[in-house]
Structure 1
Amino acid sequence: MQNNPMIFGYARVSTDGQSVDVQEKQLRAAGAEKVFKETASGAKTDRARLRRALAEIGAGDILMVTRLDRLARSTRDLLNTLAQIAEKGAGFRSLGDVWADTTTPHGRLMLTVLGGLAEFERELIRARTGEGRERAKARGVHMGRSSKLTPHQKKEALKRRDAGEPTREIARMFNVSHSTISRLSL
């Protein structure tokens, strides 16, 4: 734990041709004492400099970005990152999105509402996906990976296995793993 709360900045650009300099200047002008700079796609969930920033912040610290899209690509990604920040007892502030400031009651309220909406959306998607899978199964659609063996190959492999031939030898013959042969059933 740190004694004096610190303001950290996180600046990110998507491609090597872009520069984080403008973001860094804005963050420093807003009070960031240390800025973590990164060139990585926002779609990439494992960003090394962001991970380092999240590891370094502590209770009372603030992580600041110039805009929310510099921190996260999706609502879920944003909320997961904000949860990590909150677990450390730190705050979050976006310079371009004044409502996204967990250091104020209004900002916490807005992010809580967004979190509730995102959770509601995830539940709707989960329900629709489940319903779609059930309809597809009812129509006889096979779910999951295709079988590596044809029905004739399965029959032949079962006959050999039941005759006592080692599963590894059978698997080698059909170019599959021995566990595929072990799991075979009628």
Structure 2
Amino acid sequence: MTTAFGYVRASTQEEVKQGSNERQKEILVNFFKAKGWDYQLYEDKGKTGANMERDGFKRMMEDIEKEKPYAVVVAKIDRYARSLIDLLNSIQDLEQKGIGFVSVKDSGIDTTSPNGRLLLQILGAFAEFERNMINARTSAGREKAKAMGIKFGRPQYKTSKKNGGKYIDPKKVIELKQKGMSARAISKFMGCSITPVLEIIKGE
């Protein structure tokens, strides 16, 4: 029997309480039953789509390496990733493993079909454009940061001791800011106080 993996995610605990994950599960289970596929479900609660480092998502990717499902299925594409680049990179990685990707509620997002693969190629072109734009903005931000006295190569700020006192990469801070993350979210993501993050962003 064909086996597929289903993934559901809610960005906040409030969404979880309102039943977002349960509604997604219902959509996926109905889809799998209609297809006659066996399935496994993976879930993240209160996890942002801007960060691919999610426990449920990571478990799914680890199991993919062992079990090689036919496809990864989501209710909507934004439950999988918010960034087009992250989305395309992940889907292309699945494709290289011979695994399809399906978004039930997004018409045409089905790489197990010829039309879906064509759409993936079109999205890839947009992702390349986005990558070029981010690189251009990052380069400009880097030059401004240098003018503000921020040193690159070995950044001057360290994270908290719980992360081993690793240095913060200002380039990464700027990249996350350009992806729409707030200074507070960036500081939480990088395990540091908000002060150095704000100072780096000022030079963007």
Q: Scaled by the length of structure 2, what TM-score is found?
A: 0.60
* Distance (Å, rounded) in 2 between the aligned partners of 1:135 and 1:30: 50
| Residue 48 (structure 2) pairs with residue 41 (structure 1) | yes
Question: Given the alignment, which residue of 55, 63, 68 partners 1:56?
Answer: 63
Match of 1:28, as an amino acid? Answer: V
Report the 3-state secondary structure (helix = DSSP H, G, I; strand = E; otherwise coil) of the residue aligned with 2:13: coil
Answer whether contact 2:42 2:60 (CA < 8 A) is retained.
yes
Question: Given the alignment, which residue of 3, 7, 11 partners 1:10?
Answer: 7
* Distance (Å, rounded) in 1 between the aligned partners of 2:144 and 2:10: 43
Larger radius of gyration: 1
Answer whether contact 1:54 1:85 (CA < 8 A) is retained.
no
Gaps of 5+ in 1: 147-186
Aligned-pair identity in percent equals 38
> Aligned residue for 2:26?
25
> Aligned residue for 1:109?
118
CA gap 1:48/1:135 in 2 versus in 1, 3 angstroms: closer
CA gap 1:11/1:131 in 2 versus in 1, 3 angstroms: closer
TM-superposed CA distance for 1:27, in Å, is 0.3
Answer whether contact 2:4 2:69 (CA < 8 A) is retained.
no
| Residue 104 (structure 2) pairs with residue 95 (structure 1) | yes
Report the 3-state secondary structure (helix = DSSP H, G, I; strand = E; otherwise coil) of the residue aligned with 1:123: helix
> Aligned residue for 1:178?
none
Report the 3-state secondary structure (helix = DSSP H, G, I; strand = E; otherwise coil) of the residue aligned with 1:41: coil
* Distance (Å, rounded) in 1 between the aligned partners of 2:110 and 2:143: 42
Root-mean-square deviation over aligned CA pairs: 2.5
Total equivalences in the alignment: 142
Provide, for residues 7-60 of structure 1, a one-character-per-residue CA deviation record: whole Å limited to 9, x for no partner. 221111122232311111110000062211210222232011111112223445
Match of 1:13, as an amino acid? Answer: A
Provide, for residues 108-149 of structure 1, a one-character-per-residue CA deviation record: whole Å limited to 9, x for no partner. 111111112211221233235435656887xx6545267xxx
* Distance (Å, rounded) in 1 between the aligned partners of 2:144 and 2:8: 46
Q: Scaled by the length of structure 1, what TM-score is found?
A: 0.65
